[in-house]
Amino acid sequence: MIPILKILILTLYFLILLILSIYGIHRYILLYLFFKYKNRGNSPRGYFSEDNLPKVTVQLPIYNEVYVVERLIDAVCRLDYPKEKLEIQVLDDSTDETKDIAMAQVERYKNQGFNIKYFHRDSRRGFKAGALQEGLLKAEGDFIAIFDADFIPNPDFIRRTIHYFTDESIALVQARWGHINREFSFLTMIQSILLDGHFIVEHVARNRSGRFFNFNGTAGIWRKIAIFQSGGWDGSTLAEDLDLSYRAQLLGWKFVYLPDFSVPAELPVDINGFKNQQHRWAKGSVQAAIKLLPKIMKAKIPLKIKLEAFFHLTGNFTFPLMIPLSLLVFPTVIIRKGLGLYDMVIVDLPLFLFATGSFAIFYALAQKELYTDWDKNIKYIPFVLSLGVGLSINNTIAVLEALEGKKSEFVRTPKFGIEGKNQSWIGKKYKGNRSFIPYLELAMTIYFVIVIIGAFVAEIYMTIPFLLIFFFGYVYLTYLSFFQNKKLLEVYNLEPQKRIRF
Protein backbone atom coordinates (compact mmCIF):
# COMPACT_ATOMS: atom_id res chain seq x y z
CA MET A 1 0.00 0.00 0.00
CA ILE A 2 1.27 3.48 -0.87
CA PRO A 3 2.74 5.14 2.26
CA ILE A 4 0.78 8.37 1.82
CA LEU A 5 -2.45 6.35 1.54
CA LYS A 6 -1.58 4.50 4.74
CA ILE A 7 -1.05 7.80 6.52
CA LEU A 8 -4.37 9.16 5.26
CA ILE A 9 -6.28 6.05 6.33
CA LEU A 10 -4.72 6.02 9.79
CA THR A 11 -5.20 9.76 10.26
CA LEU A 12 -8.88 9.62 9.30
CA TYR A 13 -9.49 6.49 11.40
CA PHE A 14 -7.99 7.93 14.56
CA LEU A 15 -9.59 11.33 14.00
CA ILE A 16 -13.02 9.67 13.85
CA LEU A 17 -12.25 7.60 16.94
CA LEU A 18 -11.11 10.74 18.74
CA ILE A 19 -14.35 12.59 17.99
CA LEU A 20 -16.43 9.59 19.04
CA SER A 21 -14.32 9.36 22.19
CA ILE A 22 -15.16 12.96 23.04
CA TYR A 23 -18.85 12.13 22.86
CA GLY A 24 -18.09 9.01 24.90
CA ILE A 25 -16.43 11.17 27.57
CA HIS A 26 -19.60 13.26 27.57
CA ARG A 27 -21.57 10.11 28.41
CA TYR A 28 -19.23 9.51 31.35
CA ILE A 29 -19.97 13.07 32.50
CA LEU A 30 -23.69 12.32 32.35
CA LEU A 31 -23.07 9.19 34.40
CA TYR A 32 -21.20 11.26 36.98
CA LEU A 33 -24.03 13.81 37.13
CA PHE A 34 -26.57 11.02 37.45
CA PHE A 35 -24.83 9.52 40.49
CA LYS A 36 -24.27 12.93 42.02
CA TYR A 37 -27.84 14.18 41.74
CA LYS A 38 -30.11 11.14 41.44
CA ASN A 39 -31.16 11.33 45.10
CA ARG A 40 -31.89 15.03 45.04
CA GLY A 41 -35.46 15.63 46.26
CA ASN A 42 -38.12 16.41 43.69
CA SER A 43 -41.35 17.20 45.53
CA PRO A 44 -43.99 19.84 44.74
CA ARG A 45 -43.53 23.17 46.46
CA GLY A 46 -47.17 23.04 47.55
CA TYR A 47 -50.51 21.38 46.83
CA PHE A 48 -53.74 22.67 45.31
CA SER A 49 -56.77 22.08 47.49
CA GLU A 50 -59.50 19.94 45.97
CA ASP A 51 -61.70 23.01 45.52
CA ASN A 52 -58.91 24.97 43.83
CA LEU A 53 -57.64 22.39 41.35
CA PRO A 54 -56.87 24.19 38.08
CA LYS A 55 -58.57 23.38 34.81
CA VAL A 56 -56.57 21.05 32.58
CA THR A 57 -56.89 20.48 28.83
CA VAL A 58 -55.75 17.10 27.55
CA GLN A 59 -54.67 17.16 23.91
CA LEU A 60 -54.62 13.97 21.85
CA PRO A 61 -52.94 14.55 18.47
CA ILE A 62 -53.73 11.61 16.17
CA TYR A 63 -53.23 10.71 12.53
CA ASN A 64 -54.51 7.42 11.08
CA GLU A 65 -54.49 5.41 14.32
CA VAL A 66 -57.30 2.93 13.75
CA TYR A 67 -55.82 0.28 16.07
CA VAL A 68 -55.13 2.43 19.14
CA VAL A 69 -57.40 5.49 19.10
CA GLU A 70 -60.15 3.80 21.15
CA ARG A 71 -57.64 2.63 23.73
CA LEU A 72 -56.24 6.15 24.01
CA ILE A 73 -59.59 7.92 24.45
CA ASP A 74 -60.79 5.29 26.92
CA ALA A 75 -57.65 5.75 29.03
CA VAL A 76 -57.93 9.55 29.06
CA CYS A 77 -61.56 9.37 30.10
CA ARG A 78 -60.50 7.25 33.08
CA LEU A 79 -58.31 10.06 34.43
CA ASP A 80 -59.01 10.66 38.09
CA TYR A 81 -59.75 14.37 37.88
CA PRO A 82 -62.98 16.34 38.37
CA LYS A 83 -64.99 16.35 35.12
CA GLU A 84 -65.75 20.03 35.48
CA LYS A 85 -62.01 20.76 35.62
CA LEU A 86 -61.10 18.59 32.63
CA GLU A 87 -61.29 19.29 28.91
CA ILE A 88 -60.29 16.69 26.31
CA GLN A 89 -59.36 17.67 22.76
CA VAL A 90 -59.12 14.96 20.09
CA LEU A 91 -56.97 16.63 17.42
CA ASP A 92 -57.47 14.41 14.42
CA ASP A 93 -55.67 14.84 11.10
CA SER A 94 -56.70 11.36 9.92
CA THR A 95 -57.60 10.48 6.37
CA ASP A 96 -58.98 6.99 7.03
CA GLU A 97 -61.61 5.29 9.19
CA THR A 98 -59.88 6.57 12.31
CA LYS A 99 -62.12 9.62 11.92
CA ASP A 100 -65.31 7.59 12.33
CA ILE A 101 -63.94 5.63 15.29
CA ALA A 102 -62.73 8.77 17.05
CA MET A 103 -65.96 10.69 16.48
CA ALA A 104 -68.01 7.79 17.80
CA GLN A 105 -65.85 7.60 20.93
CA VAL A 106 -66.08 11.34 21.49
CA GLU A 107 -69.86 11.25 21.13
CA ARG A 108 -70.13 8.33 23.55
CA TYR A 109 -68.14 10.05 26.28
CA LYS A 110 -69.81 13.38 25.64
CA ASN A 111 -73.13 11.68 26.42
CA GLN A 112 -71.60 10.55 29.72
CA GLY A 113 -70.96 14.15 30.71
CA PHE A 114 -67.32 14.54 29.64
CA ASN A 115 -66.13 17.84 28.20
CA ILE A 116 -64.61 16.16 25.17
CA LYS A 117 -64.30 17.75 21.74
CA TYR A 118 -63.37 16.50 18.31
CA PHE A 119 -61.38 18.65 15.89
CA HIS A 120 -60.53 17.53 12.38
CA ARG A 121 -58.25 19.33 9.96
CA ASP A 122 -58.45 18.82 6.21
CA SER A 123 -54.71 19.48 5.85
CA ARG A 124 -51.74 18.50 7.99
CA ARG A 125 -50.34 22.00 7.97
CA GLY A 126 -47.53 22.08 10.53
CA PHE A 127 -48.16 18.35 11.20
CA LYS A 128 -48.30 17.52 14.92
CA ALA A 129 -47.09 21.00 15.93
CA GLY A 130 -49.81 22.59 13.79
CA ALA A 131 -52.52 20.44 15.35
CA LEU A 132 -51.32 21.20 18.88
CA GLN A 133 -51.12 24.94 18.18
CA GLU A 134 -54.62 25.11 16.72
CA GLY A 135 -55.96 23.17 19.68
CA LEU A 136 -54.05 25.42 22.08
CA LEU A 137 -55.84 28.50 20.74
CA LYS A 138 -59.16 26.89 21.72
CA ALA A 139 -58.02 25.27 24.97
CA GLU A 140 -60.01 26.12 28.10
CA GLY A 141 -57.44 24.87 30.59
CA ASP A 142 -54.50 26.74 32.04
CA PHE A 143 -52.46 23.54 31.83
CA ILE A 144 -52.05 21.29 28.81
CA ALA A 145 -51.41 17.55 29.06
CA ILE A 146 -50.37 15.81 25.84
CA PHE A 147 -50.52 12.12 24.93
CA ASP A 148 -49.62 10.50 21.63
CA ALA A 149 -51.88 7.76 20.28
CA ASP A 150 -49.68 4.89 21.46
CA PHE A 151 -49.77 5.94 25.15
CA ILE A 152 -52.09 4.74 27.91
CA PRO A 153 -52.05 7.41 30.62
CA ASN A 154 -52.49 6.23 34.20
CA PRO A 155 -55.69 7.40 35.96
CA ASP A 156 -53.58 9.37 38.46
CA PHE A 157 -51.47 11.17 35.83
CA ILE A 158 -52.84 14.67 36.41
CA ARG A 159 -53.00 14.34 40.19
CA ARG A 160 -49.37 13.16 40.22
CA THR A 161 -48.16 16.11 38.13
CA ILE A 162 -50.43 19.11 38.65
CA HIS A 163 -49.19 20.10 42.11
CA TYR A 164 -45.70 20.93 40.82
CA PHE A 165 -47.28 23.94 39.17
CA THR A 166 -47.83 25.56 42.57
CA ASP A 167 -44.33 26.81 41.80
CA GLU A 168 -44.98 29.65 39.33
CA SER A 169 -41.61 29.12 37.62
CA ILE A 170 -42.47 25.58 36.45
CA ALA A 171 -43.46 25.28 32.79
CA LEU A 172 -43.40 21.52 32.26
CA VAL A 173 -43.65 18.25 34.16
CA GLN A 174 -42.45 15.23 32.17
CA ALA A 175 -43.10 11.60 33.09
CA ARG A 176 -40.97 8.63 32.07
CA TRP A 177 -42.04 6.38 29.21
CA GLY A 178 -42.96 2.82 30.12
CA HIS A 179 -43.19 -0.10 27.66
CA ILE A 180 -46.28 -2.32 27.48
CA ASN A 181 -44.79 -4.63 24.83
CA ARG A 182 -41.15 -4.61 25.94
CA GLU A 183 -40.80 -8.39 25.73
CA PHE A 184 -42.77 -8.83 22.51
CA SER A 185 -39.64 -9.34 20.39
CA PHE A 186 -35.91 -8.90 20.26
CA LEU A 187 -36.45 -5.57 18.49
CA THR A 188 -38.77 -4.17 21.17
CA MET A 189 -36.40 -5.29 23.93
CA ILE A 190 -33.50 -3.43 22.31
CA GLN A 191 -35.66 -0.33 21.85
CA SER A 192 -36.70 -0.39 25.50
CA ILE A 193 -33.06 -0.46 26.61
CA LEU A 194 -32.23 2.49 24.37
CA LEU A 195 -35.16 4.51 25.73
CA ASP A 196 -34.45 3.54 29.33
CA GLY A 197 -30.94 4.95 29.01
CA HIS A 198 -32.37 8.22 27.76
CA PHE A 199 -35.08 8.49 30.40
CA ILE A 200 -33.07 7.31 33.38
CA VAL A 201 -29.51 8.54 32.93
CA GLU A 202 -29.80 11.46 30.51
CA HIS A 203 -32.98 13.08 31.80
CA VAL A 204 -32.12 12.67 35.47
CA ALA A 205 -28.56 13.95 34.99
CA ARG A 206 -29.63 16.99 33.00
CA ASN A 207 -32.71 17.97 34.94
CA ARG A 208 -31.44 17.51 38.48
CA SER A 209 -28.05 19.10 37.79
CA GLY A 210 -29.66 22.28 36.49
CA ARG A 211 -28.97 21.69 32.79
CA PHE A 212 -31.61 21.95 30.08
CA PHE A 213 -33.57 18.84 29.17
CA ASN A 214 -36.44 18.32 26.78
CA PHE A 215 -40.12 17.51 26.66
CA ASN A 216 -40.49 14.19 24.82
CA GLY A 217 -43.60 15.13 22.87
CA THR A 218 -45.98 13.13 25.06
CA ALA A 219 -46.62 12.04 28.65
CA GLY A 220 -46.07 15.56 29.92
CA ILE A 221 -48.09 18.54 31.09
CA TRP A 222 -47.36 22.19 30.24
CA ARG A 223 -48.32 25.54 31.71
CA LYS A 224 -50.24 27.11 28.82
CA ILE A 225 -48.86 30.61 29.29
CA ALA A 226 -45.30 29.22 29.04
CA ILE A 227 -46.05 27.78 25.61
CA PHE A 228 -47.45 31.11 24.42
CA GLN A 229 -44.58 33.14 25.88
CA SER A 230 -42.06 30.81 24.22
CA GLY A 231 -43.56 31.39 20.79
CA GLY A 232 -45.97 28.45 20.62
CA TRP A 233 -45.67 25.21 18.70
CA ASP A 234 -43.57 25.53 15.56
CA GLY A 235 -43.64 23.00 12.73
CA SER A 236 -40.43 24.27 11.09
CA THR A 237 -38.55 21.26 12.53
CA LEU A 238 -39.54 17.62 12.98
CA ALA A 239 -38.64 17.95 16.67
CA GLU A 240 -41.27 20.45 17.74
CA ASP A 241 -41.03 19.20 21.34
CA LEU A 242 -37.24 19.69 21.53
CA ASP A 243 -37.50 23.10 19.88
CA LEU A 244 -40.17 24.42 22.27
CA SER A 245 -38.34 22.96 25.28
CA TYR A 246 -35.18 24.95 24.62
CA ARG A 247 -37.04 28.15 23.75
CA ALA A 248 -38.95 27.95 27.04
CA GLN A 249 -35.85 27.26 29.15
CA LEU A 250 -33.94 30.08 27.46
CA LEU A 251 -36.68 32.38 28.78
CA GLY A 252 -36.04 31.13 32.31
CA TRP A 253 -38.85 28.61 32.66
CA LYS A 254 -38.07 25.53 34.77
CA PHE A 255 -38.86 21.90 33.98
CA VAL A 256 -39.51 18.95 36.31
CA TYR A 257 -38.77 15.34 35.46
CA LEU A 258 -40.36 12.41 37.33
CA PRO A 259 -38.26 9.26 36.73
CA ASP A 260 -40.29 7.26 39.24
CA PHE A 261 -43.58 7.88 37.44
CA SER A 262 -43.98 6.12 34.09
CA VAL A 263 -46.72 6.23 31.46
CA PRO A 264 -47.14 2.97 29.52
CA ALA A 265 -46.62 3.14 25.76
CA GLU A 266 -46.39 0.79 22.81
CA LEU A 267 -43.01 0.28 21.14
CA PRO A 268 -42.83 -0.07 17.34
CA VAL A 269 -42.86 -3.70 16.20
CA ASP A 270 -42.28 -3.01 12.50
CA ILE A 271 -38.61 -2.45 11.63
CA ASN A 272 -39.43 0.03 8.87
CA GLY A 273 -41.67 1.99 11.23
CA PHE A 274 -38.89 1.98 13.82
CA LYS A 275 -36.37 3.23 11.26
CA ASN A 276 -38.78 5.96 10.14
CA GLN A 277 -39.08 7.03 13.78
CA GLN A 278 -35.31 7.12 14.21
CA HIS A 279 -34.97 9.09 10.97
CA ARG A 280 -37.50 11.66 12.19
CA TRP A 281 -35.86 12.02 15.60
CA ALA A 282 -32.37 12.35 14.11
CA LYS A 283 -33.40 14.83 11.44
CA GLY A 284 -35.51 16.84 13.86
CA SER A 285 -32.73 17.13 16.42
CA VAL A 286 -30.26 18.39 13.79
CA GLN A 287 -32.85 20.88 12.54
CA ALA A 288 -33.28 22.05 16.12
CA ALA A 289 -29.51 22.29 16.57
CA ILE A 290 -29.19 24.52 13.49
CA LYS A 291 -32.05 26.70 14.71
CA LEU A 292 -31.20 26.90 18.40
CA LEU A 293 -27.45 26.59 18.96
CA PRO A 294 -26.60 30.16 17.83
CA LYS A 295 -29.19 31.51 20.30
CA ILE A 296 -27.98 29.22 23.07
CA MET A 297 -24.33 30.23 22.65
CA LYS A 298 -25.25 33.92 22.76
CA ALA A 299 -27.58 33.55 25.74
CA LYS A 300 -26.59 34.72 29.20
CA ILE A 301 -26.65 31.28 30.77
CA PRO A 302 -23.93 29.28 32.56
CA LEU A 303 -21.24 27.64 30.43
CA LYS A 304 -22.17 24.20 31.76
CA ILE A 305 -25.66 24.59 30.27
CA LYS A 306 -24.25 25.70 26.91
CA LEU A 307 -21.85 22.76 26.76
CA GLU A 308 -24.53 20.24 27.64
CA ALA A 309 -26.89 21.76 25.08
CA PHE A 310 -24.17 21.46 22.44
CA PHE A 311 -23.58 17.77 23.09
CA HIS A 312 -27.30 17.08 23.42
CA LEU A 313 -28.28 18.77 20.16
CA THR A 314 -25.31 17.52 18.11
CA GLY A 315 -25.34 13.90 19.31
CA ASN A 316 -26.71 12.63 16.01
CA PHE A 317 -23.70 14.00 14.14
CA THR A 318 -21.88 10.89 15.33
CA PHE A 319 -23.88 8.74 12.90
CA PRO A 320 -22.16 10.06 9.75
CA LEU A 321 -18.85 9.19 11.42
CA MET A 322 -19.86 5.56 11.92
CA ILE A 323 -19.95 4.79 8.20
CA PRO A 324 -16.32 5.72 7.38
CA LEU A 325 -15.27 4.10 10.67
CA SER A 326 -16.99 0.90 9.53
CA LEU A 327 -15.15 0.99 6.23
CA LEU A 328 -11.77 1.90 7.70
CA VAL A 329 -11.55 -0.46 10.65
CA PHE A 330 -10.18 -3.44 8.70
CA PRO A 331 -7.73 -1.54 6.43
CA THR A 332 -6.38 0.09 9.59
CA VAL A 333 -5.82 -3.28 11.22
CA ILE A 334 -4.03 -4.58 8.11
CA ILE A 335 -1.76 -1.53 7.99
CA ARG A 336 -0.88 -1.92 11.67
CA LYS A 337 -0.58 -5.71 11.65
CA GLY A 338 3.14 -5.56 12.19
CA LEU A 339 2.75 -3.76 15.50
CA GLY A 340 2.94 -5.77 18.67
CA LEU A 341 -0.10 -6.43 20.80
CA TYR A 342 1.11 -4.00 23.47
CA ASP A 343 1.58 -1.19 20.95
CA MET A 344 -1.93 -1.66 19.56
CA VAL A 345 -3.62 -1.95 22.95
CA ILE A 346 -1.89 1.09 24.44
CA VAL A 347 -3.30 3.27 21.64
CA ASP A 348 -6.61 1.59 20.79
CA LEU A 349 -7.90 0.54 24.19
CA PRO A 350 -8.32 4.03 25.72
CA LEU A 351 -10.12 5.28 22.61
CA PHE A 352 -12.27 2.17 22.49
CA LEU A 353 -13.22 2.51 26.16
CA PHE A 354 -14.13 6.16 25.72
CA ALA A 355 -16.09 5.58 22.50
CA THR A 356 -17.92 2.35 23.36
CA GLY A 357 -17.26 1.54 27.01
CA SER A 358 -19.29 4.49 28.20
CA PHE A 359 -22.11 3.36 25.90
CA ALA A 360 -22.27 -0.07 27.55
CA ILE A 361 -22.09 1.30 31.10
CA PHE A 362 -24.69 3.94 30.27
CA TYR A 363 -27.38 1.47 29.23
CA ALA A 364 -26.45 -1.25 31.73
CA LEU A 365 -26.85 1.26 34.57
CA ALA A 366 -30.33 2.23 33.41
CA GLN A 367 -31.38 -1.44 33.51
CA LYS A 368 -29.99 -1.81 37.01
CA GLU A 369 -31.91 1.25 38.20
CA LEU A 370 -35.22 0.12 36.74
CA TYR A 371 -35.50 -3.65 36.96
CA THR A 372 -34.93 -6.21 39.70
CA ASP A 373 -33.94 -8.77 37.05
CA TRP A 374 -31.60 -6.30 35.37
CA ASP A 375 -28.82 -8.89 35.17
CA LYS A 376 -30.90 -10.83 32.63
CA ASN A 377 -31.00 -7.78 30.38
CA ILE A 378 -27.26 -7.14 30.33
CA LYS A 379 -26.79 -9.75 27.62
CA TYR A 380 -28.63 -7.43 25.23
CA ILE A 381 -26.14 -4.55 25.63
CA PRO A 382 -23.75 -5.67 22.82
CA PHE A 383 -26.76 -5.90 20.51
CA VAL A 384 -27.87 -2.41 21.54
CA LEU A 385 -24.44 -1.20 20.42
CA SER A 386 -24.77 -3.20 17.20
CA LEU A 387 -28.19 -1.72 16.46
CA GLY A 388 -26.74 1.76 16.95
CA VAL A 389 -24.07 0.97 14.39
CA GLY A 390 -26.62 -0.57 12.03
CA LEU A 391 -28.76 2.57 12.17
CA SER A 392 -25.84 4.70 10.98
CA ILE A 393 -26.92 4.69 7.32
CA ASN A 394 -30.57 5.44 8.10
CA ASN A 395 -29.71 8.26 10.51
CA THR A 396 -26.83 9.64 8.44
CA ILE A 397 -29.30 10.30 5.63
CA ALA A 398 -31.52 12.07 8.14
CA VAL A 399 -28.62 14.25 9.31
CA LEU A 400 -27.62 15.14 5.75
CA GLU A 401 -31.20 16.04 4.84
CA ALA A 402 -31.35 18.39 7.80
CA LEU A 403 -28.02 20.00 6.92
CA GLU A 404 -29.07 20.65 3.33
CA GLY A 405 -32.40 22.07 4.50
CA LYS A 406 -34.53 19.41 2.85
CA LYS A 407 -38.11 19.57 4.09
CA SER A 408 -40.11 16.41 4.68
CA GLU A 409 -43.42 15.50 6.24
CA PHE A 410 -43.85 14.29 9.80
CA VAL A 411 -43.97 10.51 9.26
CA ARG A 412 -45.71 9.08 12.27
CA THR A 413 -44.71 5.67 13.62
CA PRO A 414 -47.32 2.96 12.90
CA LYS A 415 -48.85 1.31 15.97
CA PHE A 416 -50.96 -1.83 16.00
CA GLY A 417 -52.32 -2.15 19.54
CA ILE A 418 -49.71 -4.75 20.44
CA GLU A 419 -49.58 -5.32 24.19
CA GLY A 420 -48.77 -9.01 24.66
CA LYS A 421 -46.41 -11.65 23.32
CA ASN A 422 -49.12 -13.66 21.62
CA GLN A 423 -50.51 -10.86 19.47
CA SER A 424 -49.67 -10.40 15.81
CA TRP A 425 -49.43 -7.27 13.70
CA ILE A 426 -48.85 -9.12 10.44
CA GLY A 427 -51.54 -8.33 7.88
CA LYS A 428 -52.51 -5.02 9.45
CA LYS A 429 -52.28 -1.72 7.62
CA TYR A 430 -49.84 1.11 8.39
CA LYS A 431 -46.52 -0.49 7.53
CA GLY A 432 -43.53 1.82 7.82
CA ASN A 433 -42.24 3.30 4.58
CA ARG A 434 -39.55 1.27 2.85
CA SER A 435 -36.74 2.91 0.87
CA PHE A 436 -33.40 2.23 -0.80
CA ILE A 437 -31.64 2.21 2.59
CA PRO A 438 -31.89 -1.59 3.11
CA TYR A 439 -29.83 -2.07 -0.06
CA LEU A 440 -27.04 0.05 1.42
CA GLU A 441 -27.28 -1.95 4.64
CA LEU A 442 -27.06 -5.13 2.58
CA ALA A 443 -23.89 -3.82 0.93
CA MET A 444 -22.37 -3.16 4.36
CA THR A 445 -23.38 -6.65 5.49
CA ILE A 446 -21.59 -8.22 2.51
CA TYR A 447 -18.55 -6.00 3.16
CA PHE A 448 -18.27 -7.23 6.75
CA VAL A 449 -18.67 -10.86 5.71
CA ILE A 450 -15.64 -10.34 3.48
CA VAL A 451 -13.79 -8.45 6.21
CA ILE A 452 -14.39 -11.13 8.86
CA ILE A 453 -13.23 -13.85 6.46
CA GLY A 454 -10.18 -11.70 5.73
CA ALA A 455 -9.46 -11.38 9.45
CA PHE A 456 -9.47 -15.17 9.78
CA VAL A 457 -7.21 -15.62 6.77
CA ALA A 458 -4.81 -12.94 8.03
CA GLU A 459 -4.97 -14.50 11.52
CA ILE A 460 -5.97 -11.18 13.10
CA TYR A 461 -8.30 -12.90 15.54
CA MET A 462 -8.39 -10.14 18.14
CA THR A 463 -10.32 -7.88 15.76
CA ILE A 464 -13.12 -10.34 15.07
CA PRO A 465 -15.31 -9.57 18.15
CA PHE A 466 -15.13 -5.88 17.25
CA LEU A 467 -16.00 -6.62 13.60
CA LEU A 468 -18.94 -8.77 14.68
CA ILE A 469 -20.52 -5.77 16.41
CA PHE A 470 -20.61 -3.97 13.06
CA PHE A 471 -21.69 -7.08 11.17
CA PHE A 472 -24.60 -7.95 13.45
CA GLY A 473 -26.02 -4.41 13.34
CA TYR A 474 -26.10 -4.30 9.57
CA VAL A 475 -27.24 -7.90 9.00
CA TYR A 476 -30.07 -7.61 11.55
CA LEU A 477 -31.51 -4.44 10.00
CA THR A 478 -31.01 -5.84 6.50
CA TYR A 479 -32.82 -9.05 7.35
CA LEU A 480 -35.79 -7.39 9.01
CA SER A 481 -36.07 -4.64 6.39
CA PHE A 482 -36.41 -7.17 3.58
CA PHE A 483 -38.27 -10.01 5.24
CA GLN A 484 -40.38 -8.69 8.11
CA ASN A 485 -43.56 -8.36 6.11
CA LYS A 486 -46.72 -10.20 5.19
CA LYS A 487 -45.40 -11.54 1.90
CA LEU A 488 -42.77 -13.66 3.63
CA LEU A 489 -45.43 -15.29 5.78
CA GLU A 490 -47.66 -15.91 2.78
CA VAL A 491 -44.81 -17.60 0.92
CA TYR A 492 -44.27 -20.03 3.77
CA ASN A 493 -47.98 -20.33 4.60
CA LEU A 494 -47.37 -19.83 8.31
CA GLU A 495 -50.36 -20.07 10.60
CA PRO A 496 -50.95 -17.06 12.92
CA GLN A 497 -49.93 -18.97 16.05
CA LYS A 498 -46.64 -19.97 14.37
CA ARG A 499 -45.65 -16.50 13.25
CA ILE A 500 -42.24 -15.45 14.35
CA ARG A 501 -41.63 -12.26 16.30
CA PHE A 502 -38.40 -10.69 15.11
Q: Which of 93, 148, 196, 348 is catalytic?
A: 93
Give the 3-state secondary structure of residue 190.
Answer: helix
In the residue annotation, 92 being an active-site residue is answered as no
Indicate the residue type of 120. Answer: H
Distance (Å, whole) CA 498 – CA 426: 12
Closest to 322 measured CA to CA, from 9, 107, 16: 16
Other CB atoms within 10 Å distance of the CB of residue 129 = 24
The three-point CA angle 207-49-144 to 5° equals: 50
Q: How far apart are CA 419 and CA 204, in angstroms?
A: 27
Q: How far is CA 473 from CA 101, 106, 413, in A?
A: 39, 44, 21
Are the beta carbons of 290 and 206 closer than 8 angstroms? no
Q: Spot the catalytic one: 241, 243, 270, 348.
A: 241
Taking the C-alpha atoms of residue 180 and residue 178, their distance in angstroms, rounded to an integer, is 7
In the annotation, is 167 catalytic?
no
Give the burial string for 343-352 (b: 16+ CB within 10 Å, else e). eeeeebeebb
* Cβ-based neighbours of 323, under 8 Å, separated by 6 or more: 392, 393, 396
Region of 302 (left: φ > 0; alpha: ψ -120 to 50; beta: rest) is: beta
How far apart CA 79 and CA 155 sit, in angstroms, is 4
Residues 6+ apart with CB under 8 A from 264: 151, 152, 154, 178, 179, 180
Give catalytic residues, as residue numbers.
93, 241
